[in-house]
Amino acid sequence: MILMVSVQDLYEAKQALKGGADIVDVKNLQEALVGSAHPNVVKEIRDEVPSAHHASVTLGVVPDQIGTVSMAVYAAGILDATSVKVGFMVREYNVALETLLAAKEALTGTQTKLIGSLFADNLLHDGGIDPDLMVKLAKEGQCDGFLIDTLVKDGRNLFDFVPEERLKEMVLEGKELGMSTALSGHLKMSDLDELSRVNPDIVGVRGAVCQKGDRDSRVHWESVSEFKKQLDLRQTGEINVHNGNGIPSINQESDGWIVIDGTGKTCAGIISALSVQISDDSSSFIEVIIPDVLNTYDLIVWAEKNSHDIVTQRKDTGGFVRMLIKP
């Protein structure tokens, strides 16, 4: 999991980066139901963000105007945003799909990724798109990833609308499709254990890393740093969010089978590589090198779902987890 912090200007972007954020997500909280920032603000931040980090753009809840949305997405691509999020609240599914396909076309020739977004609390609104359709919409809309967020400002958060187990299913399905997966929505430090069990690629926050713990105050680097620290402690397994439920480790040498090196890859990338390998050769043993503890649980769920056997699991001298799988 990597940390995405929502920022409104260059000052907040610098605070987020100082605190260790991996992604700064530029938005405008004063415009409608979360709107997009002025292009000059995006450009200013994009120019300051080091290449090792990401600067994404949020368009918020987009209007029912496909040409207008496509133009905004095109601008994000021209500004070299890492990704652009296109969100839907009250909308016909087919219109949302058409909008995403037009947005994807608008990004042709750019490196900007298209992220489809639905809100976990959409069903509070008459005609709101069911968030349960997120993976289907992202897949059919040719998105590079998806974000599930919330819009309510009454103290409820993501887990009040979509249970942990359903989020886990959706995230795993997205990873199997090779998409990036992101969760946000009034998340706090107290939600980190649940988030870690779901294990999205990206965790998005704002209020939790603001100076007063209020999304309307300013992002503060020390708050970002503490959130990032707690996220990493769960990622490495120093804080165990699974209550020790796992597979016993058995040491075994890796001669004579295929090895997939997952270091430096996302969980989606690892699962995708495994799926391709097994599709090509379903008889060979596969050893996969996994960069962190949380992703081992995703691999266990994926293996069980697809009836693959996990023969061994061990830690190597470099601290990486090595898992041997028999298709």
Q: Which residues are catalytic?
A: 27, 85
Question: In this structure, is the dihedral angle defined by the CA atoms of residues 150, 108, 144 and 47, taken in order, positive or negative?
Answer: negative
User: In the block, which residue shows the tokens 């926050």?
Assistant: 205
Distance CA 114, CA 228 (A): 25
Cβ atoms of 169 and 181 within 8 Å: the answer is no
Among 193, 187, 4, CA closest to 83: 4
Q: Compute the Cα dihedral for 37, 41, 42, 48 and give only its sign.
A: negative
Residue with tokens 């190597």: 316
Maximum separation of any 2 CA atoms in the chain, in Å: 59
Q: Which of 90, 130, 117 is nearest to 4 (CA)?
A: 117
Residues whose CB is less than 8 angstroms from the CB of residue 10 and which lie 6 or more positions away in sequence, other chains included: 41, 44, 45, 48
Exposure string for 42-78, b = 16+ CB within 10 A, e = fewer: bbbbbeebeeebbbbbbbbbbeeebeebbebbbbbbe
Q: Are 67 and 77 in contact (CB under 8 A)?
A: no
Number of alpha carbons in the 13 Å side-chain half-sphere of residue 52: 3
